[in-house]
Amino acid sequence: MLFDIAEFYPSISEDLLKQSLDWSRQYCEISQLEYNTIMHCRKSLLFHNNRPWVKKDNPSTFDVTMGSFDGAEICENVGLFILHTLRKTVTSSDIGLYRDDGLAVLKNMTGRTADNLRKKVISAFNALGLKITAESNLKVVNFLDVTFDLRSSSHYPYRKPNDDPVYVHKSSNHPPQILKQIPTAISKRISQLSHNEESFNTASHIYNNALRVSGYNETLTYTTPEKKRKRKRARKIIWFNPPFCKSVKTNVAKAFLRLIDKHFPPTNPLHKIFNRNTIKVSYSCLPNVRNLIQSHNRKVLRQARDQPETQLCNCRIRNDCPVQGLCLTSRVVYQADISSASSDVVSYIGMTGGSFKNRYANHKKSFRNSKYEKETELSKYIWQLKRQGTPYSIKMVHHLNAPSRSCHPFPLQLMS
DNA sequence: GTGACGCCAGTGCGCTGCTT
DNA sequence: AAGCAGCGCACTGGCGTCAC
């Protein structure tokens, strides 16, 4: 039986959360302090009118989705409680739940019995305030990224239609060891999901193609699942995670560890705490550029929407405004077209984060005073014309909402 | 006459990219 | 790595103009 909880996270009521926390407190032995802290956080941060706060355009709402850490954490906690509750309904079966997707194996049941059980499960969820869709009497099911086939007792990888895998490009700005591990990691995952080598080979084409697209030459190979190693006690490790950048030639990790050796030698009383066995280095990757641009655009577009209208020009004689009544606008790319008798029109393009007027005043200063002749290429050219005695005229054009040097307060576009 | 405002000159500094 | 040039920003103080 395959079931799916509709709108899982937004449907969790505070009562259900409290029940699940009470249950986990009983079974997982969490302390009173931990319990109180969780309840306080959940109440004050995540709930509003006995419902979780859901991501909306309204900035006053708390931004939590099931994909986020808190949302997933809650769903997992509640999920465990639900599984426990379902034991009363589904007694003689294997049942599992991953966030909002559930699967139960119904053994030795007729179609009618299985369908009755399906109805009971739906009622059980309804009693908890959750709505589900459930299908029973299935011989083949797609659950998460696996297809289970009861007819042949096999399983193999599953992907939704048109959901082609995309991997980090081989020439991407990532630590080499991460890029190196990608084909191996995929091989391992697909092997785990495959019943045998044959189903692995059938499924691996799509992944091999995705690897080619991302610049990898490696071909996925079937590996038999490793036996679980006996768990060893984990060493307490202090991690140093510098951000990785391809253009940095210095081996930061090596230099860092050398500093550890130098400043905490075996004779140092702190050597026990700070040494190569207790301090490890692992490069961290910076956020995806697409995500950065998207979040940036959201921010600046919201600011632009909320900004009150401001004065655009304060020139004493409005007709003399160099940019047609828009001299006070800030964040502009401007263009100066210089016409003279000696040559064709010459253009200079500049930009400023402040007001155009302020920048223009500095340009005028450099035109008047030879001391600032070399301030810009534009001023150099003007002084050249002045020395030649060539008459000239300057026409200024500016474009709104352009970048400043320090930040880009305008929407960006990701180049394909 | 006074205050507000616009304009200008001047200074110092930060950032980036290039050269040595 | 250091130095330099180019470009732009932030800020200050002085002066002229205008409205009241």
Q: If you write DSSP's letter for every residue of A238-257 in order, what string do you get?
A: EEE-PBP-TT--S-HHHHHH
Does residue A303 carry a pLDDT above 60? no
- SS3 for A80? helix
Nucleotide nearest to A359 (CA to C1'): C8
Q: Could you list the protein residues whose CB lies below 7 A from any atom in strand C? A: A 316, 350-354, 358-359, 362, 374-377, 380, 404-405
What Å value separates CA A136 and C1' B18? Answer: 71
pLDDT at A406: 35
Q: Which residue has the tokens 């969490």?
A: A30
What Å value separates CA A355 and C1' C9? Answer: 11
Nucleotide nearest to A333 (CA to C1'): C8
What Å value separates CA A278 and C1' B8? Answer: 62
pLDDT at A398: 64
Instruction: Give the mean model confidence (pLDDT) for residues A14-27.
Output: 77
Amino acid at A105: V
**How far is residue A90 CA from its own chain's centroid?**
38
Distance CA A328, CA A397 (A): 13
A401, with CB counted inside 10 A (0-12, 13-18, 19+), is: middle
Residues A172-181: contacts with CB within 8 Å, 24+ apart?
A173/A244, A173/A245, A173/A246, A174/A244, A174/A285, A175/A244, A175/A283, A175/A285, A178/A283, A178/A285
Distance CA A407, CA A292 (A): 13
pLDDT at A31: 60
What Å value separates CA A317 and C1' C16? Answer: 15
User: Quick one: what percent of chain A has pLDDT higher than 90?
Assistant: 1
A312 or A68: which leads in pLDDT: A312
pLDDT at A393: 78
Strand B contact with A228 (CB < 7 A): no
Does residue A39 carry a pLDDT above 50? yes
Distance CA A327, CA A312 (A): 6
Strand order in the sheet with A392-399: A346-355, A330-340, A392-399
Strand C nucleotides, any atom under 7 Å from protein beta carbons: they are: 5-10, 17-18
Nucleotide nearest to A348 (CA to C1'): C7
pLDDT at A60: 34
Phi/psi at A333 (5° precision):
-100, 130
Phi/psi at A310 (5° precision):
-120, 170
What Å value separates CA A411 and C1' B8? Answer: 35
Give chain A's length.
416
Amino acid at A303: Q
Question: Which residue is closest, via its CA, to the C1' of B16?
Answer: A405
Closest by CA to A379, choosing from A360, A405, A399, is A360
Write down which residues 351-410 in A have CB closer than 7 A to strand B: 357, 361-362, 364-365, 368-369, 371, 405-406
Distance CA A372, CA A369 (A): 6
Does residue A344 carry a pLDDT above 80? no
What Å value separates CA A361 and C1' B7? Answer: 8
Distance CA A238, CA A280 (A): 6
Is the separation of the CB atoms in A260 and A277 below 8 Å?
no
pLDDT at A416: 33
A399 or A59: which leads in pLDDT: A399
For A163: left if phi > 0, alpha if psi spans -120 to 50, otherwise beta; the answer is beta
What Å value separates CA A8 and C1' C16? Answer: 70
The HSE-up count of residue A190 (CA atoms within 13 Å, CB side) is: 24
Does residue A17 carry a pLDDT above 50? yes
Nucleotide nearest to A369 (CA to C1'): B9
Question: Which residue is closest, via its CA, to the C1' of B14?
Answer: A406
Beta strands in A208-297 (DSSP E): 238-240, 279-281
Question: Which residue is closest, via its CA, to the C1' of C6?
Answer: A376
What confidence tens digit (pLDDT) does each residue in A208-231 have? Answer: 988 998 889 888 888 886 766 676
Instruction: Give the mean model confidence (pLDDT) for residues A366-394.
Output: 74
pLDDT at A196: 87
DSSP states along A317-379: SGGG-TTTT-TT-EEEEEEEEEEESSSS-EEEEEEEEEEHHHHHHHHHHHHH-GGGGGGSHHH
Beta bridge partners of A131: A6
CA R_g for chain A: 32
Write down which residues 295-324 in A have CB closer than 7 A to strand B: 314-316
Among A139-143, A172-176, A202-206, A366-370, the least confident range: A366-370
Q: What is the DSSP letter of A228?
A: P
Helix and strand numbers, DSSP H then E, in chain A? 11, 14
- SS3 for A210? helix
Average pLDDT of chain A? 73
Among A57-71, A134-148, A195-209, A268-282, the least confident range: A57-71
Does residue A128 carry a pLDDT above 50? yes
What Å value separates CA A147 and C1' C1? Answer: 60
Q: What is the DSSP letter of A284?
A: B
Does residue A63 carry a pLDDT above 50? no
Strand B nucleotides, any atom under 7 Å from protein beta carbons: they are: 5-10, 14-16
